[in-house]
Structure 1
């Protein structure tokens, strides 16, 4: 078996293990639901107990003239309200075990995927991102690696299913639609800038992808905090909406910095390859559109008085632009330009 075939075998193996990891993360989230229900029942009982204590103090204070339950202005004291956006309920041992199993499977799947990308690069003696298939698999590996590094440190097992699922979809589409046999690069791509410009681009996409998943969860969590459901589910076990929003902002900031470098490096490479920094090529335009949308998000997020939910919508729109840039701009003839390297 040559290296290209071994790379394909590792890719198929990673998809199998990612599927098991996805099921494991789903299993993990299912174990978090009973814990949420128990925590909510305990909070309700505590609220009832506090209310009874307050009523008792008010009655005693009214009988003996003391100010135990009544303030000097004549207002009664109230029990502290339960903060829906507070800390998530403590995880059960069963939930932690399931999350750890799923995370270990994700480590293995990501290692297999990275090995596939490396073997394909060695097989063709070049950076393995010269066409859409190679970029998609490398970007999926970057998403998996970034999640693995962040998940262990931050205990992000709750996020796993929302990362592993899109990774699986991208790998499946890559094999079914985008697959290209390993081969030589087009002349215009034979430059050291390929290893710099494109690698930073898919690292930026990795952070944007994770931020998109966290941003979507933020919107759902915030809505359920404002209108608590009658029957809680795993959403109530997630960090507060404020914490999710801060996490999404931090991830988008890293992605934005990397994408800024991508835009600048692309212009420098274009000068070397085509003699001009900017030629209004569709890929150049959409790269700038993505940068502009995320810049608008950063500005909105830093502006006092702007609703964080509206800022998040801008970030989500930016990720939609990322998807358009990778799919439509590369595949639809309307966007034909100098970046026709899809291999399709």
Structure 2
């Protein structure tokens, strides 16, 4: 049984979250703009990125993922505290960052409430079609960021997370929206809640890691080619600290994705009578696992430049996006996992 009233409330909460996410994105943009040193400050302040690079030696210029680089560029808060910023923040920057985080918390609460209301309204787990997949996955991403951002001072990462979240939500309500319907017989299993929930958590960590990886590439390029006038990138954590953070997130996501792969095989045995059917969804799930396994192997291999390892991780995230979009929507890829509702 479905409840049109609850589904309507869920949609309204979703639209409200989009408005608040848009305001949060603007606040994070203002935060990054305020982080950039003013012209007078840039002339008088010492070049901390150059000093750090000189002390680190080859760490900045070559293998930032090596143990030697990690020791010289360890953030003040320790390995588990997340990357520390390279320079002091202005009061205005901190204020905009706090506003952005507060708005993100509110938007996340509205989005999670929308997902819950949708589930209650359709009397089943709220991920039976592409619209529900998208909103639930984005809710997991924003929730993971909200949990980690305050403790690790990740205001600087906000715009790199909130902007894609807002983009996916926009696509969900304009392109992917599907009316509620009953689950297909293969989905009526307790494995739906277990398998899909863990997959969402893995994708959330993969997404945060990809955002950090993009910032890492921008930051490292600026460390190798310092600009005449420092900008907000010079106020961000060092490239080595960012790389370690991306590695930690990818490691956690890889463990969860391994469970997703195994749980999916067990569920396939119950639903279709075989652990492996070479279904496109199964194949791409394994491709993602293999690419991230290659990333972790390269990260642990001495002499491999950290930037090359990060490129492998970003290739893995591209596979995640293909698995979520093309495999679900393009008829060439659609197999037994034809649950998009499109």
Give the TM-score of the pair, scaled to structure 2.
0.88
Which residue does the alignment assign to 1:5?
A: 8
CA RMSD of the aligned region, Å? 1.5
Residue 332 (structure 1) shift: 0.9
**Deviation sequence 1:300-338 (CA, Å, 0-9, x none):** 001111110000000000000000001111111111210
Moved over 4 A (4+): 84-87
Instruction: Describe how 1:235-246 pairs up with structure 2 within 5 A.
Output: 235-246=233-244
Task: Give the distance between the partners of 1:83 and 1:146, measured in 2 at CA.
Answer: 31
1:36/1:258 Cα in 2 relative to 1: closer, same or farther (>3 Å)? Answer: farther
CA contact (8 A) 2:39 2:229 kept: no
CA contact (8 A) 2:135 2:169 kept: yes
CA contact (8 A) 1:88 1:238 kept: yes
Residue 42 (structure 1) shift: 2.0
Residue 34 (structure 1) shift: 2.1
| Residue 27 of structure 2 corresponds to residue 24 of structure 1 | yes
CA contact (8 A) 1:36 1:89 kept: no
Which one of 230, 233, 238 corresponds to residue 232 of structure 1? 230
CA contact (8 A) 2:115 2:126 kept: yes
**Deviation sequence 1:71-103 (CA, Å, 0-9, x none):** xxxxxxxxxx72247751111111101100110
Residue 125 (structure 1) shift: 1.1
1:123/1:305 Cα in 2 relative to 1: closer, same or farther (>3 Å)? Answer: same
Deviates more, 1:203-212 or 1:178-187: 178-187
Which residue does the alignment assign to 2:158?
A: 160
Instruction: Describe how 1:1-344 pairs up with structure 2 within 5 A.
Output: 2-34=5-37, 38=41, 41-43=44-46, 82-84=51-53, 88-344=86-342
Residue 161 (structure 1) shift: 0.3
Structure 2 spans left out of the alignment, 5+ residues: 54-59, 61-72, 74-84
Which residue does the alignment assign to 1:68?
A: none
CA contact (8 A) 2:42 2:230 kept: no
**Deviation sequence 1:128-181 (CA, Å, 0-9, x none):** 011111011001000000001100000100000000000000000011111011
Structure 1 spans left out of the alignment, 5+ residues: 48-80
Task: Give the distance between the partners of 2:123 and 2:265, measured in 1 at CA.
Answer: 25
Task: Give the distance between the partners of 1:41 and 1:301, measured in 2 at CA.
Answer: 38
CA contact (8 A) 2:130 2:340 kept: yes
Residue 40 (structure 1) shift: 6.0
CA contact (8 A) 1:283 1:325 kept: yes
